[in-house]
Structure formats: C-alpha cells, structure tokens
Amino acid sequence: MNLIVDVGNTATKLAVFHGQKLLFDTVLEKKGLIDEVKEIFDQYPNIRRAMVSSVGEFDTKQLAALSIFCKVYVLDHTTRTPFKNSYATPQSLGVDRIALAAAAFYRNPNGNILVVDAGTCITYDMVNDYGEYLGGAISPGIHMRYRAMHDQTAKLPLLRKEIPMDLIGNSTETSMHSGVVNGVCAEIDGVIDQYKSRFAHLTVILTGGDSQFLSKRLKNTIFADSKFLLRGLNYLLEYNKH
C-alpha cells in the first residue's frame, strides 16, 4: 500500500492507494499532519511507501517523523518520470504540475491531453501523443481574483465564490460574482479552444478544488476528476519504487 501526502498552498491532502485503487483520502482540517498519519497507519498497517509533494509548508521535522512509519519519497525535479519533460526550466516546474503530467500520461499515453487544475492558481498542463510534457500556463484562481479585488481597492468587499444569477450584475456583489466566475469560465473555455486548434483529438481533464464548481459551467467537453493529482503522485511512487 502507498500513502500520498499532497501539501498544497491552502490545504494538505492525504490518500491511501492499494495498487491503483484509491482506498481512502482526506483533507486536513484542524488535526496535525503526523497525528493524522498515525491514525492512517493504525487503519492501514500494510503501507510500505509514501510520496510527499509539497508546494506549501512541509519541514524537515515532519519528514523525519513520517519516515519513522515507512520509506518516504519526496517529489522534486530530479524524480524519474514516465514522460519526457520538455519544460525549458525543469528545476522551476512545480511538483504539483509534475504529478498532473504523470496522471495525464497514464490516463491517455498515446493521445493529446490537457489538464486544467482549478485551485489556488489555475494551471494548464499539456502532454502530447508522443508522451512529451510541453508546459502550459498559470493564471489566478477564483479565490485569488476575489481577494485581489478586495485587497487592491478601497471599497470592494471580500466575497465567497457564488454562481452568478445572471451575466449582468445589478449590484456590486453580483457584478463581482459575474466578473470572477464568468471570467474564469470564459478563460478556461477560450484556452481549451486554442489547444484544440493545435492538437487533434484532445482530451481535457478538469481537476482541483474548484473543479466541481466550474465543471457544469464550461461549454467544452471535459472529464472532471478531483483526485487526479493524487493519482498522479501514486503513479510516480509506483514508477520510482523499483
């Protein structure tokens, strides 16, 4: 069994896999990482390896504590991948994007696949039908757009995301919701259209914390999978354990 630890910008996710089957996953709330790990090992004592992916805070003490339970792999730009990495600066490529590229490769190894991760930032990652990771794009996520309008103006409120009732907002709040949500959807659909014009038979995966919120509002055909990054980390752990 494998333990996956995904330390993101806003949350830490833990998952247990048996082969490629996802048995358990959780998002840490108030409980500390190691306390949660102890409970997971009590429930799944056959875990032998762990993969850690961190774009947030994960210190050496946590790594040392986790290493008591099993062998730990830490994902970075030197980790072996099943795809060819053609990113111009591989040392600066985020580990979350490496994991998404791995998941894309295994999802459709002989096809063109675009992964849209709607999280803190919205990332676009492209793996072509030669098994080559090409790169993509990074733009502000939904919460970041709300936060930017509040922080960089004198009077705009900080709002929680909400599906706009109409394209035309008739108040400050509804105008902000329309601007953020409709703007994000228009961006994602526009980017997908551009990729489709360049890559034939393109498969599009939508993942990340806002994937379910956005999936029904996009006009393009997509496959929504909120666990896609976790699957990618598990694939990489399986690939590197031999």
Residues carrying an active site annotation: 96
CA distances from 127 to 94, 105, 196, 207 (A): 15, 7, 13, 15
Under DSSP, the state recorded for 180 is I
- 116 vs 223: CA distance, rounded Å: 10
CA dihedral 93, 98, 101, 107 (to 10 degrees): -170
What tokens does 11 get? Answer: 């949350």
- Calculate the alpha carbon distances from 7 to 53, 67, 166 in Å: 6, 16, 36
Buried b (16+ CB within 10 A) or exposed e, 64-102: eebeebbebbbbeeebebebeeebeeeeebbbbbbbbbb
